[in-house]
Homo-oligomer: A and B are copies of this chain.
Amino acid sequence: MSAQQTSGQPSAVTKPWSDRLCDAIRDRNSAVCVGLDPRNEQLPAPLRCPAGAPMSQVAAAYREFCNGIIDAVADLVPVVKPQAAFFEQLGPAGMVALGEVIDHAIAAGLLVVLDGKRNDIGTTAEAYAAAYLGSTSPWRCDCLTVSPYLGDDSLDPFVAACDQTASGIFVLVKTSNPGGGFLQDQVAGELAIYRHVARWVTKTNQSRLGASGYGPVGAVVGATYPAQLAELRAAMPGTIILVPGFGAQGGAAADVAGGFDATGNGAIVNNSRHIIFAYQRKEYADTYGAARWQDAARVATQEMNQQLNAVRFTSR
């Protein structure tokens, strides 16, 4: 974190998040989002900490590992997505490390989506929005994932923050887990609940479209539901889609093809474990091994770029 963080700073970035993201996708020729999900038991030795190590030591290892991944992929992808939970798991020391990782990603020229799935009501939602959104907030994220269960008025403060700080959100619409349908697939008034959320997202974006044709309110739609991904791409014009579930969760390039628009833009596909822990995958382990974990992550990212680029311009 920067030592001089103060309250009440003015906004610094003015180009809309949606345009910054779409430009970066085009400039890097990549729709890959690298998920920063550190887990001590999968860190390469010697970064891995012994069981019972102080949490401050594990937090330092997470910082070094994530910063190393950032260095390995910074010129290959537009965006990284730190997963807040893994840092919160280490207590306050973990949150300090999270701030340092975000700062490192920004310094490396990457956009940052914090995966926090936050939300609350009223002034508390305003506090979350002020916390995470925009380059003058203390965490300095470009974008935050947000949960919609609390309702449309709980999302409004995040949209207001997007307007004020040229930042963005990704609202959970159709998640990648098997049990996501428990509420999301319930049909009410002839529309699945996830379509109710999608409708709000689309409507909210309509008056906020940037030069890219996209607005600040994105949607999370899992790679594990290819039919719904294509359905939602059509149903949500102007909405950038964040697609989790590629790689370790089972999604492949063909599954996510339907998420892109006719120009191969409008979606980013996240991959966490199969990139950051690529050194453990059998196709890379022999060549790279634990000592060359950064090289393995870089090659895995290049391969995912090739896989996505083979489908994202031909999907329509």
Q: Are B184 and A151 in contact (CB under 8 A)?
A: yes
Which 3 pairs across A and B sit closest by C-beta, in order of nearness? A91-B138, A153-B179, A151-B179
Interface size bracket, A side: 35 or more
Indicate if A108 sits at the interface (CB-CB under 8 A): no
Interface residue? A254 (CB, 8 A): no
B52:A8 contact, CB within 8 angstroms: yes
A307 CB within 8 Å of chain B: no
Which of A21-29, A186-194, A232-240 contacts the other chain? A186-194
A→B interface (CB under 8 Å): 1, 4-9, 37, 39-40, 49, 51-56, 58, 83, 85-86, 88-96, 98-99, 115, 117-125, 127-128, 130-132, 137-139, 147-154, 172, 175-184, 186-189, 193, 196-197, 200
A282 CB, min distance to chain B CBs, angstroms: 20
Write out the residue numbers on chain B whose beta carbons fall within 8 Å of the beta carbon of A147: 117, 119, 147, 149-150
Name the B residues within 8 Å of A200 (CB-CB).
182
Q: Are A91 and B139 in contact (CB under 8 A)?
A: yes
20 additional A-B pairs beyond A5-B56, A39-B123, A122-B177, beta carbons within 8 Å, are A8-B52, A37-B124, A55-B138, A89-B128, A90-B138, A92-B96, A92-B98, A94-B138, A117-B150, A121-B176, A149-B149, A151-B177, A151-B179, A151-B183, A154-B180, A183-B183, A183-B196, A186-B193, A188-B193, A193-B193
